A and B are shown apart, each in its own frame.
Chain A
Amino acid sequence: MWTAGGYKDITVETQVLIIGGGTTGTGIARDLSLRGISCILIDKKDINAGASGANHGLLHSGARYILKDSETAVECRQESLLLKRLAPQCMEDTGGLFVALPEDDNAYIARFPELCRKYGIFCKPVDAAQALHMEPCLAPDVKAVFAVQDAVVDPFRLSLDNAANAQKNGTRILRNIQVEGFISHKGIIQAARVRDTRTGDTFHIGALQVVNATGAWADKVAAMAGAHISMLYSKGTLLITQSRINTRVINRLRPASDADILVPGGTVSIIGTTSMEIDNLDDIRPTMDEVDTIIRQGAVMVPALATTRYIRAYAGVRPLVKNGREKGRTISRNYTLKNHEADGLQNFVTITGGKLTTYRLMAEKTADIVAGRLKNTKPCETAQLPLPPSRKGEWTEPGRSPRTWAARPKDTLICECEMVSESMVDRIVETLLAEGNSPTLEEVGRRSRIGKGPCQGTFCSFRLAAYLYHTGNLDKKQGFFQIKAFVNERWKGLMPLVRDKELARLEMQEAFLCGLFNMEVDP
């Protein structure tokens, strides 16, 4: 084992430090831990706080990428089939459709089945009348439809289950830990200088290998290590409908554009996305313009999208790595894996880009490099071993808490919209405490449906705070600030949607939080 050498204040040591708690980072932690390698995974916020928690939750069959990105298409095909088998608890195998409208390009429509065949992607023509019967929400003038093997994935559950399995195999997961720099010597990183964003404490994590799995932040973290990555941040915005509109994933049959995928999930549907280049990652939020574009464009394919009510909008950033002059949607969606040897770094790797669907493969390829450098010869097992369902991820699924609560209705409800009870919160808190620090409202919210129903946190954030104080998990004024943060996080997703009824909801929420509680004036 490597020793701390001259650094007196190193407090933690590990074989591999993984930076970034998204799907890729947690996937890498699981992969390495299955090979018997000890890891620490840190995230500056929380599991899936970045793009992993702000996407469609679509398990691509690969058909979307056949024209521009055949490599990604083939990987999606292979990985989606694998994941449906190995992590069924995170999937809803809905199937999918590709639909073309009168204005869509006939040449592209004609090539679609041909290309699918070429790359081995299942694709079956569906007669338009039959398609309208299968998905009555479709625009009546669809001119061509193909069935594909798309599915829906719960990205929160996926990452939480990966994290839980990694923890079981010895990985330590630390939330709210941000990297501030690296200490290296002759091209070898010896430790990362990190800060606990809640307490402000700084310490060092000593590691033999460092993995940068920070998604859109990959260039910044790489820069701290002295390596350059040229990235482009592409913001994608999505909208959640109040009820589920479709049974299968519906894709627009045209080269990728705005609002051409409608993904069902539990009790809702999600329409997106947009692609907008942004310069900085500080305040990623959906805008009114994007929301209006999505609704206008989406309604061409599914007319109900023009009139349905939306619960919330959200935005994530696609980390696209530039190789030349490409822009936005034309940049490959394939992943980027850099060993940084050309940068003179011997124990640092960056993995970014790619798709949620191919996260496992990305983790495998990254873990191969890291394990090889550690002279560990155990092969990757994640393509064979099922991903065990965990307690961490059990409450993220819409509809699960109401069913559970109905079986035991004596349990006090904290969130009445989504029926999350005290005992469910207890179990979430337990898994958070096991990671070494106390839970926040946002963290409990991310692991459950709290705040995601119609009240958007007006009542449940208070009840949750009161309960966490009662159980000794909150102290002093923590709850006050956390309620404000929780409400503002929900507000990000609500503000661009505000039209009519939402103004009444805002008025009520503000009447309580400001009118009665005076929370905007920090005493």
Chain B
Amino acid sequence: MRPVQYGSGSVNPTHLHTGLAVVGSGMAGMAAAIFAYNRGISFVQVGQASELSFSSGCLDLFSILPGRFPKVFADPFVGIDALTKKMPHHPYSRVTRSLIREAFADFTDFMESAGIYYYGPKQKDQNTWENQHIITPAGTLKPTWQVPATMHAGSLAIARNQRICIVDIKGLKGFGARQMAQTLQPQLPCVTGATIAFPGRETVKDLMCERLAWDLENPKILAQFISLLKPHADRVDVLGLPAILGMYRFEKLHRTLELALKKPVFEIPTLSPSVTGMRMKEAFLKKITDLGAHHFPVAVSDIVPDKDGFRFFVTQGLQTIEIRAENLVLATGRFMGRGLGVREEQVKEMLFDLPVTQPETRAGWLCPDFFDPAGHPVNQAGIETDDWFRPLGSTGSVFHPRLYAAGSILAHQDWKREKSGAGIAIASAFKAVSHIAGNTPVRRSEMR
């Protein structure tokens, strides 16, 4: 079973009946859509702008247990055990190791079919895997679970303490090779920095990563680019570049570069907009549209739950479509995604006004130190669910038997500090969609 397909423009639907509405198009929304597709559940996805454009492109699982003395775990599963012991209501306490593995495998398989290959964690021995690390523009190392192929040589080089040369580009702001190399010195003494001018844009003072990514898809520019990199590549083991290696043909570009330079090359995610995040979003959207799924890049505000499921309207151009969905996954995110908002100094869930667990008063939201290792209490605000990630209503029982929530809107997690954003999104979406699949007779979407 696959999402319904229309002939191009020949059908003019005003009603759309579907098995699942995924509300939100960030990491959790994307994951829910992928899992629904894999399970043959018909679905529509709605959601305005996506925070994916800010993403590093890596998939984090878990690394740090925040607290007065934060604890860093090399093996995320060992970390998750400690986490769920300390935080029994954390979303990870509702999923098992094997579910997480299965969910990641499903997710990355789909992304591979969309053109983004991921490299998994380092395997220490038969049962132990460890987070890998990436270099960030701040000159720090960040632990993560899976990295896209274009970034993998970096995490290998870090693990092997190889000689790395980071090359920055004149006019590309906020990406300083010298800054990164100097800051990394205590951990990685073999990192150096170099600067080149981008071919054809030598005098441009304000370069955008996205623009350069498009430029490099031009073979002539690529050849010049390679010749500028050559002397730097020759004196080290591995070359690090800002993530600008193409928007669509990045895998091929990356290979071409490595062959020409005869050295491994890796990308470093940049400050927003991040090409690695955009690739993920573009690849997903293209694949899902090719498969004929409905993706409405609009915000919805009024969703009416009833005994059959959920009803709401989306407007696309001049057309307004009524959507009836049997199930709904709420993947609207937090404050940036407007899944959460504030009214009268209380944190609110914006679509169904679900109860939100939160600090008692506004005065308890934040820490005086921005970097307080325990994290800001407001970051753990969110919605409560049952074991299948169905939100709880004000009475403490399930709000609606077919309403699910996934991702950062869930309470009792602090993904930014735990480095668990993708993991929570993927695992919760997977469990929710599994439950939907178990309860929903699979059938085609119907148009009326």
Contact = CB atoms under 8 A, between A and B. Distances in A.
Interface of A: 283, 285, 288-289, 410-414, 422, 459, 462-463, 465-467, 469-470, 474-477, 479-480, 483-484, 487-488, 491-492, 495, 498-500, 503-504, 506-508, 510-521, 523
Interface stretch (B11-19, B100-108, B136-144): B136-144
A288 B335 contact: no
Given A484-B371, A488-B369, A515-B419, A412 B137 contact: no
3 tightest A-B CB contacts, nearest first: A466-B176, A469-B179, A515-B416
Contact of B269 (A488, A514, A516): A516
Interface string B350-378: 00000000000011011011111100101
Contact of A507 (B56, B206, B335, B369): B335
Contact of B140 (A459, A467, A487, A523): A523
B371 A500 contact: no
B417 A517 contact: no
B271 A462 contact: yes
Contact of A519 (B70, B140, B336, B366): B140
Interface string B333-353: 011101011100100000000
Given A469-B179, A477-B182, A499-B342, A518 B142 contact: yes
A422 B139 CA distance: 21
**Interface range on chain B: under 10, 10 to 19, 20 to 34, or 35 or more?**
35 or more
Interface stretch (B167-175, B223-231, B245-253): B167-175
Nearest to B363: A288
Given A477-B186, A479-B183, A503-B378, A521 B366 contact: no
Contacts of A510: 370, 376, 379, 416
A483 B373 contact: no
A469 B183 CA distance: 10
B37 interface: no
Contacts of A422: 205
A510 B183 CA distance: 20
Given A518-B143, A521-B72, A479 B371 contact: no
24 contacts: A411-B205, A412-B206, A462-B271, A463-B174, A467-B173, A469-B179, A470-B176, A474-B179, A477-B139, A479-B179, A491-B370, A506-B376, A507-B336, A508-B336, A514-B417, A516-B56, A516-B269, A518-B141, A518-B419, A519-B138, A519-B371, A520-B372, A520-B373, A521-B373
Contacts of B417: 514-515, 520
Contacts of A504: 335-336, 338
Contact of A518 (B51, B136, B376): B136
A466 B371 contact: no
Contacts of B173: 412-414, 463, 466-467
B185 interface: yes
Given A288-B363, A412-B206, A413-B206, A512 B271 contact: yes
Contact of A500 (B136, B179, B205, B342): B342
A514 B371 contact: yes
A416 B378 CA distance: 29
Contacts of A500: 335, 341-342
Contact of B183 (A283, A476, A520): A476
A470 B369 CA distance: 29
A34 to B, nearest CB: 42
